[in-house]
Amino acid sequence: MKKVQVAIVGVGAIAESTHLHYLKGMDTVEVIGLVDTDLQRVEAVAEKHGIPNWFESIEALLENIAVEAVFICTPNATHIGIAKKAAEKGIHVFIEKPIGIDIDEVTEYSNLAKANNVLTMVGMTHRFRRDATILKSYLERGSLGNVYYAKAKLFRRRGTPKGWFTNKELAGGGALMDIGVHVLDLAWWLLGQPEVQSVSATSVSMLGNYQTKYTSAWESKNNKLNAQHVFDVDDFTAGWIRFRNGTVLNLEIAWAINGEEDDSISLEFYGNEGGAKLSPVTIFKEDNGIFTKIEPEFENNDVYQDEINHFIECVIRNEKPLIDADQGLEILKMLQALYTSSNQQKEIILD
């Protein structure tokens, strides 16, 4: 069977330990190229994993080898520029979250990809969690009735990453853009992707470059990207999103906070016929007039493997991915509206 030939653009820690790791283990895929601006690192990773080609730029890759799909794992601000070059060649695109940082730029890319029949998938890993899939089935069946209120939260106590993540020019934002994108996307997807009416938010940097002892932080492999250690992004954001169907979502995100931290994304949904939460996935309902609590039993899955498998299967079958460019764009619009609301200190009405 012919294998899908792919390349990875940006070989940081996550790209090597996740994307490259899982792609190498698939019978349907052959990784034939790597790209990174750090030539020393990309050569080392290529040699370590037996990848035959490595380049310093996407242009060099496209000029020298033919691939069917690329995985873009670079700083947020560079996503769309790379994706456009791939889409111009008819190459399918997997973009790590968020899809980009500029709404007009992402819109232009989305139109280009559609015109060239290029599939786009945004790396929203949490949609592939088994517990989320189970909860989604309850919501889609209408088990909660009219869901009028939802809460979505992820607090780290001392979890600010180091490197380009704290530089707005490269990242587009801070905690909200980094981990908040996952929380917002998962909540929005579970709610059925309703249309946004308005948002209101506060987004601040309060702990910044803290010097807390005996703590560790995830750090980008490319320490040249933010060599000056710029920190001009948010480390806390709280927002209120009102949807046109009447549902309201309360969103709370923190890289660092003086309080308890969450083990994972915390979600709560309240409907007139039932409620639910994640994690763990729990359903609250009345049964025969008696209040009940349902805790489904299941085996966890490998979300990264399932996410990457899904994209490759979409490429093979030419099928629309679970998280396409349009959905990535809608999430970006909400993220940017939250930042705008905070900056202008007022509610933002979306068209």
Residue 3 has pLDDT above 80, yes or no: yes
pLDDT at residue 229 in the model: 82
Residue 3 near residue 65, CB atoms below 8 Å: no
- Chain-centre distance for alpha carbon 203: 19
Please tell me whether the peptide bond between 279 and the residue prior to it is cis, using omega within 30 degrees of 0.
Answer: yes
- Chain-centre distance for alpha carbon 289: 41
pLDDT at residue 226 in the model: 64
pLDDT at residue 191 in the model: 98
Query: Token pair of 238, please?
Result: 């709280």
pLDDT at residue 223 in the model: 67
pLDDT digit string, tens, across residues 51-85: 999 999 999 999 999 999 999 999 999 999 999 99
Range with the largest mean pLDDT of 163-167, 228-232, 324-328: 324-328
Residue 260 near residue 157, CB atoms below 8 Å: yes
pLDDT at residue 47 in the model: 98
Mean pLDDT for the chain overall: 96
Residue 90 near residue 114, CB atoms below 8 Å: no
Domains, the chain, ordered by start: 4-124+304-323 (3.40.50.720), 127-301+333-349 (3.30.360.10)
pLDDT digit string, tens, across residues 210-229: 999 888 776 776 666 666 78
Residue 279 has pLDDT above 90, yes or no: no
- Residue 304, Cβ neighbours under 10 Å: how many? 17
Give the orientation angle of helix 130-140 with respect to helix 181-190, to 10 degrees: 40
